[in-house]
Structure 1
Amino acid sequence: MQTLHVNGYDMAYLEVGKGPPLVCVHGTLGDFRTWYAVLGPLSKNHRVISVSLRHFFPEHWDGAGSDYLMSQHVADVIAFIEQIAPKPVDLMGHSRGGHIAFRVAQARPDLLRRVVLAEPGGDLDASLAPATPASGAPSLAVRVAASVKKVASGDIEGALMNFVDAIDGDGAWARLPTAAKQQLRDNIFTLLGQVGEKRRPFAKSEAESITTPMLLIGGGDTEGTLSLIWRVLAEHIPGAKTAVIPGARHWMFEQAPQEFSKAVLAFLAG
């Protein structure tokens, strides 16, 4: 593990492989360990740099403070990339990290060569809202709010089960390997910050303004809003590519690492 001092914070990261830099940003309850399943294939041709965002493991945050903001995490990733050479870099984000990667592409396209969004999290504003809402799992905000109540009451395992099962289906938490459960458990108090992170919804004008080549990728079996958002964004991001990982859900890179890596590497090589 290494760190870079970024906006007054020591941002932890792992670096594997040689080649053009690929910066990877985890989602809710993740950290630099999120990408373990794909570090092997991705690092064959790339210098994979997997970051932990502010207040995530290896920090053990208690949820106190006012700097757990979407804007702060976006600014941190930008400042982190500014210290990476050579530039431009490739950037990949999953879920909440996909939202961050989208915002980085909006603000600083000069830093980026290509971007991969794996089921970016958030909401669509009225300009992008589909005529038929997604069925199945509720929005990210609803899931987080329900889990936060359980965290506040001390029911950590209940909060984790509620969150994971809402995304990947009933019984998903119980089926997770012990190491994957511990990673999520290590970051559980970041949910307290996420409630007030001030994440704004995606807008049509924002999607249309993206100039960096972008791949949007999703699990073939993902349900609810997470299965919808990336498809809607892809319709409005100029020249966007898409890929579906059959038989996988939201954590597709863990469930089908070879298929996920193949799609990412093909895009990055294009």
Structure 2
Amino acid sequence: MQAFRVNGYDMAYLEVGEGSPLVCVHGTLGDFRTWYSVLGPLSKCHRVISVSLRRFFPEHWDAAGDDYKMAQHVADVIAFIEQIRPAPVDLMGHSRGGHIAFRVAQARPDLLRKLVLAEPGGDLDASLPVRTDGPAHPPLAARTARSVEMIRAGDIEGALQNFYEGIEGDGSWRRVPAAAKQQLRDNAITFLGQINEQRKPYTLSDTQAIKTPTLLIGGGATTGSLALIWRVLAEHIADAKTAVIEGAGHWMFEQAPLEYGEAVNAFLAE
């Protein structure tokens, strides 16, 4: 584990492999360990740099302060990438990390060569039309709020199960490997920051501002808003490419690491 000093904070990261740099940004409850399952496939062709965002493991945050904001995390990733050589870099984000990667590409396209968004999280503004025959939106915001209540009451395990099963379906929590569960536990307190992170919805003008060559990836078994958002974004980001990891859900890189790695490597090699 190493760290860069960014915006007054020591931002931890893990680096594996050689070649052109690929910076990986985790989502909710994640950290630099999020990408462990695909480090092998990805590091065959790239210098993979997996980051831990501000307030995530290895920090053990006490939920104090007001710097757990989407804008802060975006600024941190920008400052982190500015220190990497050679430039520009490839950037990949999952879920909430996909939202961060999108905002980095919107603000600083000069830092990026290519962009990979794995089921980016967030909400769609009314300016982005949604097909009426698409999947229904599950109440993820309500799930998150409920998990926050449970964490404040001391029920960490219940909070994590509530959130995870809201995405992957009832009964899915018991199938999560022990190491992956521990990673989520290590970052459970960050839920308290996320409830007021001031995340803005995607707008049509936002998507049209993305000029970096972009790949959007989704799990074939993902349902609800997470299955919808990446498809809508793909329709409005110029020349965006898409890939579906069949049989996998939201954590597709854990559930089908070889297939996920192949899709990413093929796009980055173009």
Matched residue, 1:171: 171
Worse overlay, 135-144 or 172-181: 135-144
User: 1:70 corresponds to which residue?
Assistant: 70
Decide whether the 8 Å contact of 1:134 with 1:225 is kept in 2: no
How many residue pairs end up in the alignment? Answer: 270
Kept in 2: contact 1:123–1:139 (CA 8 A): no
Aligned to 2:26: 26
The corresponding residue for 2:234 is 234
3-state SS, counterpart of residue 113 of structure 1: strand
- Give the secondary structure class of the aligned counterpart of 1:47: strand
- 2:86 aligned with 1:83: no
Q: With structure 2 as the length reference, what TM-score do the two structures score?
A: 0.98
**Structure 1 residue 135, shift from structure 2 partner:** 4.0
Deviation at residue 209 of structure 1 after TM alignment: 1.2
**1 CA distance for matches of 2:103 and 2:16?**
25
Partner of 2:108: 108
**Pair 1:230–1:47, CA change in 2 (3 A):** same
1:1-270 counterparts in 2 under 5 A? 1-132=1-132, 135-136=135-136, 138-270=138-270
Shift of residue 54 of structure 1?
0.1
Deviations 1:142-166 (A, max 9, x none): 2211111111111111100000000
Deviation at 1:62, TM superposition (A): 1.5
Q: Quick one: structure 1 residues 137 and 179, their matched pair in 2 at CA, closer, same or farther if it must change by over 3 Å?
A: farther
Q: How far has the Cα of 1:140 moved from its partner?
A: 3.4
Deviations 1:160-185 (A, max 9, x none): 00000001111111111110000000
Measured in 2, the distance between the counterparts of 1:267 and 1:28 equals 25
Name the CA distance, whole Å, in 2 between partners of 1:133 and 1:66. 40
**RMSD value, Cα:** 1.0
Deviation readout 1:27-47 (Å, 9 max, x if unpaired): 000000000000001001100
Gaps of at least 5 residues in structure 2 are none
Q: Measure the CA separation in 2 of the matches of 1:135 and 1:242.
A: 18
Q: Give the letter for the 1:82 counterpart.
A: E
- Give yes or no for contact 1:11–1:54 (8 Å, CA) kept in 2: yes
Amino acid at match of 1:78: I
